[in-house]
Amino acid sequence: MYVLGIESSCDECAASVVKDGNFILSNIIATQIDLHKPWQGVVPEIASRLHTRWIWSVVDLAVKEAGIKKEELGGIAVTNRPGLVGSLLVGLSFAKGLAWSLDIPFIGVDHIRAHLYAPHLENDISYPYLGLLVSGGHTVIAVVRGFDDIEVLGTTIDDACGEAFDKIAKFYDLGYPGGIAIDKLALEGNPKAFRFPSPNLHKGDHVYDVSYSGLKTAVINQLDQFLNPGFEKTKENIAASFQKRAIDILIKKVKRAITNTGIKTVVAGGGVTANSYMRSSLTGLWEVKTYFPSLELCTDNAAMIAGIGYQYLKSGEVSDFSENAKARVPSFKRGYP
C-alpha cells in the first residue's frame, strides 16, 4: 500500500510516499531554516504562513517523484501532535481535505513515536529495544516493545537537549541552527577546556532522567567559573566542552538503562541524533547494537510519518474528521501510553 506522509509540525514542510511502511519512494523536505535565520529561532506565525504557501507543491512533488498518481494512494498519515499549533493545522487540514477528496483513510500521528520509527525505514529492527529520542523539544529514553508500545523510563526534568544546543548557539552567536553549528565548531575545539557541571539525578524516580537547565546556565552565565587553567575562552572550546557534557549526560543514562533492563539494542531518532559525537560514542559501546537514522531521517521528515502511519492503518486504526492538532502531548511522562 502507498501511504502519503505529511509533516508540518515546526519549520520543515515535508511530504513523502512510502510503500508498505518501509520502502521510501519520495522524501521531499522544504526547509524554512533560511527564513527564520534573522531571528535565530523559529517564528511560529512565519512558519505556518510558509506551510500554507508551500504545502500543495510539496505534496504534489512527493507524489510525482514517487512515480504514482494520487488515486493510487491507499491512505494519508499526518503529524497532528506535538508541535506548533498553527503549523500542525496546515498539514492536518490539508490531509483531511485530500483524504476526503480521494475517499481514502487518514491517520493523525505522534511526531515523537514517528522519530523512533525512522530507523525502521532503513533497517530490519526487532523489538524490544531501548529508544533514544533526542530533538529540539523532547529528550526521552524508553523501552520500545512495538511501534505504538512505548514505556518511558526517563525524560528531561526541564529543557530538551536540542533546546540547550539552540539557546547556547544563539547566545554566543555560533550559527543557526544551533545544533549543527556547535557540532561543526566542536571539531576545532578542545572538550577539556571547560569543566561544565553534570546534573545530580541518581536516585529514586530520576535514575534515567536528565536535566539541561543547569548546564545551560553554567555555559551562558558562569562561563569563567568553569574554564580550566591553560585553556582559552574560544567559541570552538565552548562548543566542544558543552557538546561533550550535553551528550555524556545522556549516554550515562542510556548505559544505565542497558545494564538494568538487559536490552542491548539502542535505536535513536530526532534531530540531535545527527550529532557526530553522539553517533561515535554510542556506536562504540561494547556488545550493544545501535541504530541511527541516516542524517536526512534524523531531523524532521515525512517518510517517518508515512512509515508509522502505514502500521496504524494496517492495524485498522484511522482518524475521523474531528481529529485536531495538539501542541503538547499531556501524558508525555513516565509510562507514556
Report the site for Zn ion in 134-193 (rule: CB under 5 A). 135
Asked if the peptide bond before residue 177 counts as cis, ω within 30 degrees of 0, the response is yes
* Cell numbers describing residue 198: 553534570
- Give me the amino acid identity at 73: L
Residues in 288-317 at the binding interface with ligand KG4, rule: CB under 6 A: 299-300
Nearer to ligand KG4, 110 or 166 (CB): 166
* The amino acid at 95: A
Of residues 178 through 237, those in contact with ligand KG4 by CB under 6 A are 178-180, 183
CA atoms of 138 and 132, how far apart (whole Å): 10
The grid coordinates of residue 188 equal 576545532
Position 177 contacts ligand KG4 (CB under 6 A): yes
* Residue 319: burial class (beta carbons within 10 Å; 0-12, 13-18, 19+): buried
Query: x/- site string to Zn ion, residues 256 to 295, per CB under 5 A?
Result: ----------------------------------------
Edge-to-edge strands, sheet with 73-81: 23-31, 12-19, 2-7, 73-81, 106-110
Binding residues for Zn ion restricted to 295-314, rule: CB under 5 A:
300
Q: Return the residue of 75, 119, 137, 189 that touches ligand KG4, per CB under 6 A.
A: 137
Residue 156 partner contact from Zn ion, ligand KG4, none using kind-dependent CB cut-offs of 5 to 8 Å: none
Q: Does the protein bind ligand KG4 through residue 272 (CB under 6 A)?
A: yes
- Measure the CA dihedral 19/20/24/30, to 10°: 80
Q: Tell me how far, at minimum, the Cβ of 143 lies from ligand KG4, in Å.
A: 21
Q: How far apart are CA 224 and CA 231, in angstroms?
A: 11
The interface with ligand KG4 within residues 241-270 (CB under 6 A) comprises 270
Q: Which residue has the cell 509510562?
A: 335
Shortest separation between residue 178's beta carbon and ligand KG4, angstroms: 5
Does 162 help bind ligand KG4 (rule: CB under 6 A)? yes
Q: How far apart are CA 122 and CA 108, in angstroms?
A: 23
Distance CA 163, CA 284 (A): 26
User: Which residues are within 8 A (CB) of 71 and not within 5 positions of it... i.e. 6 or more apart?
Assistant: 102
User: What is the smallest separation between the CB atom of 82 and ligand KG4, expressed in angstroms?
Assistant: 9
| Smallest separation (angstroms) from ligand KG4 to the CB of 75 | 23
Alpha-carbon distances, residue 234 vs 111, 167, 222, 240, 260 (angstroms) = 36, 17, 15, 10, 39
Q: Which of residues 106-135 bind Zn ion (CB under 5 A)?
A: 135
82 makes contact, choosing from ligand KG4, Zn ion, none, with CB < 5 to 8 Å by partner type, with: none
CB of 321 to ligand KG4, least distance (A): 26
Count of positions on this chain that bind ligand KG4 (CB under 6 A): 19
What distance in Å separates the CA atoms of residue 118 and residue 270, rounded to the nearest whole number? 9
166 binds, among Zn ion, ligand KG4, none (CB under 5 to 8 A by kind): ligand KG4
Binding site for ligand KG4 (CB under 6 A): 10, 135-137, 162, 165-166, 177-180, 183, 270-272, 274-275, 299-300
Binding site for Zn ion (CB under 5 A): 135, 300
